[in-house]
Amino acid sequence: MTTASDQRMAVLLDEVRQDPSLPARLPTWEAEIVNAALAGQGIYEIAQAHQLAEAGVWEVLGKAARAATGQALHPVETGGLGSE
């Protein structure tokens, strides 16, 4: 039986594989994360290797999957403390 993380990773990687040229068009550090995931490394391993939080790795993979499948990428705007 696989975990929810394994299933989520499998879905994202299936989507990323729809556009094999995607890693070459990404910034270097994002391409490294995507290529590591495609090579079978786990989220924790990738996060440790790139000194990121696991959530950051998920975010990069999610953005890559959306880009590979042609879904629009909409940046999220957030305000800092005291923003109005």
* Residue 15 confidence (pLDDT): 95
* Residue 76 confidence (pLDDT): 53
Instruction: Tell me the C-alpha to C-alpha distance, in Å, between residue 31 and each of 4, 13, 14, 16, 84.
Output: 24, 13, 16, 11, 36
Residue ranges of the alpha helices (H) in the chain?
4-16, 22-25, 28-38, 43-50, 54-68
Q: What's the domain range around 38?
A: 23-72
Q: What is the pTM of this model?
A: 0.81
* Residue 51 confidence (pLDDT): 96
Domain membership flag for residue 16? no
Domain membership flag for residue 2? no
* Residue 49 confidence (pLDDT): 96
Q: What is the mean pLDDT of each run of 10 residues along the chain (84 residues)?
A: 83 94 94 97 96 95 93 59 57
Domain membership flag for residue 35? yes
Domain membership flag for residue 42? yes
